[in-house]
Amino acid sequence: MNGQWRDPLVGQNVLLGVLAGVFASAVFQFEVLAPAWFGLTPRPFILSHPLALDGPLAVAGHLLVQIIIRLSDALFFLMILFLCRLVLRRGLLASCAFVAVWTVADVLFYGSHPVLGWFSEGIFFSLVVWVYLRLGLLAGIVMILTEWALDNAPLTTNFSAWYAGNGLAVVAFFLALAIFGFCTSQAGRPIFQDATGERRPE
């Protein structure tokens, strides 16, 4: 809020937010792939956002717009968590109510898998609560942005596909964000140093 982007705590929260978002995205991808492994009703693949399939400027604009949209999502989650705490007056009970309400809402109304959705949504919203309570709002914003952008990016291992570059651009953006967070969290300390704490020779 004060514009102190070089604060080590900011870097730590950005890095952990990206890692949490990558984990959450992997959980939702598991929900898509796992039904075929267990003989369950398949869940449709998560569709890529149309702008993520356009040219470089469209992908860049898409990411910038999502920063604003996911900021509002993160603030909305925070408001609901605060209201749960205000009504129930116990931290653990409020956290459980938050996870339960959002899990039920997403499974019943947002197209989650009827069986595996309970696990993936429960894990996601439990992670949201943990990030909010242990790391703070900034990490929560970065986590939600990372998860949503990766889920809706055209990611593929077929690098000859016409859309492969767009997916790699999204991955590169969050890789750069993670590198920024890691370097900033070091507070100017050399990244490569020996066991005594002295900087290694180049």
Dump pLDDT digits (tens) for 148-190: 999 888 888 888 888 888 889 999 999 999 999 999 988 777 7
Q: Would 21 be classed as within a structural domain?
A: yes
Query: Which residues span the domain enclosing 132?
Result: 16-32+51-185
Q: Would 2 be classed as within a structural domain?
A: no
Instruction: Name the domain count of the chain.
Output: 1
Indicate the SS3 state at residue 199.
Answer: strand
DSSP string, 65-90: HHHHHHHHHHHHHHHHHHHHHHHH--
Q: What is the pTM of this model?
A: 0.85
Q: Tell me the residue type at 71.
A: L
Dump pLDDT digits (tens) for 69-78: 999 999 999 9
Q: Would 122 be classed as within a structural domain?
A: yes
Q: Would 193 be classed as within a structural domain?
A: no
Q: Would 97 be classed as within a structural domain?
A: yes
Q: Would 9 be classed as within a structural domain?
A: no
Q: Specify whether the CB–CB gap between 18 and 142 falls below 8 A.
A: yes
Q: Would 1 be classed as within a structural domain?
A: no
Question: Band of the pLDDT at 135, cuts 50, 70, 90?
Answer: very high
Q: How far apart are CA 133 and CA 94, in angstroms?
A: 12
Dump pLDDT digits (tens) for 42-52: 776 677 788 88
